[in-house]
Amino acid sequence: MNFIEELRWRGMLQDIMPGTEELLNKEKVAGYIGFDPTGDSLHVGHLTQIMTLIHFQHAGHKPVALVGGATGMIGDPSFKSAERNLLDEATLQHNVNSLKNQLSKFLNFGEGETDAKMVNNYDWFKEFGFLEFIRDVGKLITVNYMMSKDSVKSRLDGDSGLSFTEFSYQLIQGYDFYYLWKNHNCKVQMGGSDQWGNIVTGSEMIRKIDQGSAFAVTTQLIKKSDGQKFGKTESGAIWLDAKKTSPYKYYQFWLNASDDDAKNWIKIFTLKTKEELESIIAKHDEAPHLRLVQKALAEDITIRTHSKEAYELAIKTSDFLFGNGSLSFLAELNEEEVLEVFDGVPHYKINRADIENGIAILDLLAVHTAVFPSKGEARKMLQGGGVSLNREKLTDLEQIVSKDLLINDSYLVVQRGKKNYYLIQVI
Q: Is 232 annotated as a binding residue?
A: yes
Residues 6+ apart with CB under 8 A from 1: 55, 58, 59, 60
- List the chain domain ranges: 3-219, 232-325, 347-426
Within 8 A by CB and 6+ apart from 40, the residues are 94, 95, 98, 99, 241
> Which residue numbers are catalytic?
38, 43, 46, 80, 84, 173, 194, 229, 232-233
* Residue 32, annotated as binding a ligand: yes
pLDDT in tens, 335-370: 888 888 888 889 999 999 999 989 999 999 999 999
What CATH code would you report for 232-325?
A: 1.10.240.10
CA atoms of 417 and 378, how far apart (whole Å): 12
> What's the sign of the alpha-carbon dihedral 335, 337, 338, 340?
positive
DSSP annotation string for 173-207: HHHHHHHHHHHH-EEEEEEEGGGHHHHHHHHHHHH
Residue 72, CB-side half-sphere exposure with 13 Å CA sphere = 27
Per-residue b/e over 305-334, b at no fewer than 16 CB within 10 Å? bbeeebbebbbbbbebbeeeeeeebbeebe
- pLDDT tens digits for range 153-210: 776 776 667 777 777 888 888 999 999 999 999 999 999 998 898 899 999 999 999 9
Question: pLDDT tens track of the chain, all 427 residues?
Answer: 899 999 999 999 999 999 999 999 999 999 999 998 888 999 999 999 999 999 999 999 999 999 988 876 665 555 444 444 567 778 888 888 899 899 999 999 988 999 999 999 989 998 888 888 888 888 888 887 778 777 677 767 766 677 777 778 888 889 999 999 999 999 999 999 988 988 999 999 999 999 999 999 999 999 888 888 787 676 688 999 998 999 999 999 999 999 999 999 999 999 999 999 999 999 999 999 999 999 999 999 999 999 999 999 999 988 888 877 788 888 888 888 888 888 888 999 999 999 998 999 999 999 999 999 999 999 999 999 999 999 999 989 999 999 999 999 999 999 999 889 999 999 9
Q: What span, in angstroms and rounded, lies between the C-alpha atoms of 333 and 214?
A: 51
Beta-strand pair 411-416/420-426: antiparallel
Please name which of 205, 197, 189, 69 lies closest in space to residue 137, comparing C-alpha atoms: 205
Domain 347-426 is found in CATH 3.10.290.10: yes
Class of domain 3-219: alpha beta
294 is in an annotated binding site: no
How far apart CA 203 and CA 214 sit, in angstroms, is 5
- What's the mean per-residue pLDDT of the chain? 90
